């Protein structure tokens, strides 16, 4: 190679790395699930809004600027338990075509192991071996669906893997059963990754995997720890009495934050799935800062909003919780980028946390 060729190559690689950096700046891509278009029912009352078709929901995502949809197995194939593998495959392929047609991708697929009669006492940790088998078989079908939809991410919200009554199950045995179930999934497909979404309570009194620390610890017991990571939901971290920003820093220190459900939660009660930032703007701001400092999204991870409209929301405002969450995220991103780092560093050095506190508040209020 002569020197002109090598200079040309150098220039080309310089342009390429510039383009890559520019592309990386557009780091955030957004996603929601069909359940986030909920119709207002709660344990005390019926729906308050008319439902819309799945296709309508799909088309709205694109209009709202979202790029992906997340799925439960039966969001992808309704009434999945009554269908043969051939039928499931056929319907999944049709769904893939509809997604491709809208220019959307599937972010993940999650087995819904909390609805069927077989999961009343839990899925993988049920005391009934037949029901444990059902949970594992259904999870394998979920993996087959994910393959057809073109995603390698399986989300495990371990909804009923816990107890209402501590003495009804053995915690030690339950850990073994969870590991066995995850191993069966990892063996079923050598490419998929499992992303555990911890939540400490609801529907259970006590869950076996309540926090990110538990999720990452149990990953180590599986046959392929590299393929077991986690998903943080802001509300779930708050329900565990934790700061979601700390959970983000912790998971990302292990390179294990493969998905994220941003939302908000006002204190320790039922899972509220409020719009992002709705209850505590400062906690939301700190989550955005944590994502920024760790480079979340640079490997293609999505920001998903696991938010619901308020029960009182009327049909014409039905999508606002989605676009509002995204707007809040983007405003907080601008706040994170303009945070007065130098001033903050000086206050930290002087251990003047009193004024650091005020600096954050005034920055958020737009006066600094």
Instruction: List contacts with ligand XUL (CB under 6 A).
Output: 72, 110, 155, 157, 197, 199, 233, 261, 271, 306
Instruction: Give the nearer residue to ligand XUL in terms of CB position, either 57 or 363.
Output: 57
| Chain position carrying tokens 């319907």 | 91
Instruction: Give the nearer residue to ligand XUL in terms of CB position, either 233 or 247.
Output: 233
288 binding partner (options ligand XUL, Mn ion, none; Cβ < 5 to 8 Å by kind): none
At its nearest, how many Å lie between Mn ion and the CB of residue 151? Answer: 16
Instruction: Give the nearer residue to ligand XUL in terms of CB position, either 155 or 336.
Output: 155
Burial pattern 195-230, b for ≥16 Cβ within 10 A else e, equals: bbbbbbbeebeebbbbbbbbbbebbeebeeeebbbb
| Chain position carrying tokens 């919200």 | 157
CA distances from 96 to 90, 191, 266, 291, 311 (A): 10, 19, 37, 30, 32
* Catalytic residue from among 73, 75, 273, 306: 75
128 has catalytic annotation? no
Q: Give 46: exposed, middle or buried? Use CB within 10 Å, 0-12, 13-18, 19+.
A: exposed
At its nearest, how many Å lie between ligand XUL and the CB of residue 305? Answer: 11
At its nearest, how many Å lie between ligand XUL and the CB of residue 111? Answer: 9
199 binding partner (options Mn ion, ligand XUL, none; Cβ < 5 to 8 Å by kind): ligand XUL
Q: Cα–Cα distance between 158 and 131 in angstroms, integer?
A: 15
Instruction: Give the nearer residue to ligand XUL in terms of CB position, either 110 or 184.
Output: 110
Peptide bond into 259 cis (omega under 30): no
Q: Give 233: exposed, middle or buried? Use CB within 10 Å, 0-12, 13-18, 19+.
A: buried
In the DSSP assignment, the letter for residue 120 is T
Instruction: Give the nearer residue to Mn ion in terms of CB position, either 112 or 261.
Output: 261
At its nearest, how many Å lie between ligand XUL and the CB of residue 238? Answer: 12
110 binding partner (options ligand XUL, Mn ion, none; Cβ < 5 to 8 Å by kind): ligand XUL
75 has catalytic annotation? yes
161 binding partner (options ligand XUL, Mn ion, none; Cβ < 5 to 8 Å by kind): none
- CA dihedral (41, 201, 196, 23) positive or negative: positive
At its nearest, how many Å lie between ligand XUL and the CB of residue 108? Answer: 9
Please report the DSSP string for 275-302 in residue order: PTTSS-HHHHHHHHHHHHHHTTTTTS--
Residues that bind Mn ion (CB under 5 A): 233, 261, 306
- Which residues are catalytic, by number? 72, 75
């Amino acid at each position: 190679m002569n020197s002109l060729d090598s200079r040309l190559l150098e220039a080309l690689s310089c342009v390429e790395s510039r383009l890559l950096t520019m592309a990386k700046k557009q780091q955030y891509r957004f996603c929601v699930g069909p359940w986030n278009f909920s119709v207002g029912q709660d344990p005390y009352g019926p729906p308050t809004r008319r439902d819309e078709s799945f296709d309508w929901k799909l088309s709205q995502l694109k209009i709202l600027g979202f790029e992906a949809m997340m799925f439960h197995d039966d969001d992808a194939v309704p009434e999945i338990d009554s269908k043969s593998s051939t039928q499931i495959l056929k319907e999944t392929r049709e769904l893939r075509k509809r997604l491709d047609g809208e220019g959307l991708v599937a972010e993940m697929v999650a087995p819904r192991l909390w609805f069927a009669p077989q999961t009343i006492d839990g899925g993988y940790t049920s005391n009934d071996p037949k029901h444990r088998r059902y949970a594992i078989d259904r999870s394998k079908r979920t993996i087959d669906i994910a393959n057809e939809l073109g995603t390698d991410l399986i989300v495990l919200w371990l909804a009923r893997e816990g107890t209402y009554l501590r003495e009804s199950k053995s915690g030690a045995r339950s850990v073994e059963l969870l590991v066995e179930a995850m191993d069966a999934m990892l063996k079923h497909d050598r490419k998929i990754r499992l992303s555990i979404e911890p939540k400490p309570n609801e529907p259970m009194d006590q869950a076996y995997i309540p926090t990110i620390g538990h999720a990452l610890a149990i990953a180590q017991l599986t046959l392929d720890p590299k393929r077991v990571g986690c998903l943080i939901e802001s509300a779930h971290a708050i329900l565990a009495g934790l700061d979601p920003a700390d959970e983000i820093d912790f998971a990302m220190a292990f390179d294990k934050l493969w998905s994220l459900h941003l939302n908000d939660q006002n204190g320790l009660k039922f899972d509220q799935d409020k719009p992002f930032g709705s209850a505590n703007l400062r906690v939301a701001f700190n989550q955005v800062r944590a994502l920024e400092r760790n480079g979340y999204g640079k490997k293609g991870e999505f920001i998903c909003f696991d938010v619901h409209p308020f029960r009182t929301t009327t049909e014409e405002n039905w999508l606002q919780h989605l676009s509002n969450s995204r707007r809040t995220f983007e405003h907080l991103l601008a706040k994170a980028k303009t945070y007065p780092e130098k001033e903050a560093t000086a206050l930290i050095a002087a251990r003047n946390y009193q004024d650091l506190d005020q600096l954050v508040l005034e920055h958020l209020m737009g006066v600094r």
